[in-house]
Amino acid sequence: MTTTIATTRETPPHDVAAESAQEAIAASRRPRAPRRFSWGWAIALPVPILILIGWHLGVQYGWTLPFDIKMAFLPTPAEVAVRGADFAVGGILDDSFSGTLWTHLGASTVRVLQGFGLAVLVAVPLGVLMGRSRLLFRLLEPTVNLIRPIPVTAWAPLTLLIIGFGDRSTVFLVFIAAVFPILLNTISGVHQVPGRLLEAAAMLGTPRYQSLYKVVLPAAAPQIISGMRIAMGLSWVILVVGETVGISTGLGALITQAREQSRTDLIIVGMIVIGLAGFIADRLLSLVFTIAFGRRPIQK
């Protein structure tokens, strides 16, 4: 009787690693399937469409809304669209505002970027230091929370007196509006950095002063970015306040001139442009951080 003994040959560990590496290389060379077009954005379309329909019907039938808002005094969406097209390219209504969109938008964008950029340069380093130093936090926190509740509209008259009319006062108001959201979110993000990260960095030989920008700042990045996005939105809100006096070019100045001339269609166009500018600025800011941090879980 012949007994057959089956032997099982085990693959050496190095062969398994080599095969895995070859499979990974082959998978990376395979053509990727094309991404399917997403219609997720279409979910948001019904809301603005319903607003436009209600707006048109309200003007047509003279509705009176809560707070005694009389829709009959508003222009129709079609009239606003015509005014917006003329404001952008000109050649339709041919008045003093025709084709001036890019001049006003460019001037306002520069002021927003200057005030916002200055707020980032001040708030992020100060927030990191306040978040790491108990002494500095106790020294500055009462003053920060004393100044923070003061509305920017209260700063505007004082700013005109001590700075004067022009771009500098507007940039200062934008800075005041943007600095506190960034500062408070930076402090909160630094406070939430796990102590184990700092201990691990110290064990690996990272000097204490380098841990601020090598460990603390990246770990607090989600909170800091959230503060920047809030500050960017507030910057466009406060811009109108800063451009209402002593400035002839800018979206806020445009709305002020339109109000003096009772041009409601132009006021609405200015409001829409500010909303779109703020929306695009927020998306660009998110894109910059996505490119900078790659696929890390920095933001949603």
Residue 94 CA to chain centroid, in angstroms?
Answer: 35
CB-count exposure of residue 273 (10 Å: 0-12, 13-18, 19+): buried
- Mark 97-110 as b/e (b = at least 16 C-beta within 10 Å): bbebbeebbebbbe
256-272 pLDDT, tens digit per residue, is 999 999 999 999 999 99
Average pLDDT, the chain: 84
Single-letter residue type at 83: R
The phi, psi pair for 64, rounded to 5°, reads -115, 115
Residue 291 CA to chain centroid, in angstroms?
Answer: 15
Cα–Cα distance for residue pair 136/121, rounded to 1 Å: 18
> What's the token pair of residue 161?
């007196």
- Report pTM: 0.80
- Per-position DSSP letters for 8-61, written without gaps between them: PPPPPHHHHHHHHHHHHHHHHHSPPPPPPPP-GGGGGSHHHHHHHHHHHHHHHH
The phi, psi pair for 249, rounded to 5°, reads -125, 130
Half-sphere exposure (CA, 13 Å, Cβ side) for 50?
A: 5
**Range in 22-31, 57-66, 149-158, 256-265 the model is least confident about:** 22-31
What confidence category does residue 29 fall into, taking pLDDT thresholds of 50, 70 and 90?
A: low
Percent of the chain with pLDDT strictly greater than 70: 83
Q: Where are the alpha helices (DSSP H) in 192-250?
A: 195-203, 211, 217-219, 221-242
Cα–Cα distance for residue pair 56/275, rounded to 1 Å: 20
**Range in 24-33, 209-218, 257-266, 271-280 the model is least confident about:** 24-33
Residue 221 pLDDT greater than 80, yes or no = yes
> What's the token pair of residue 300?
């949603």
| Residues 71-98, mean pLDDT to the nearest whole number | 92
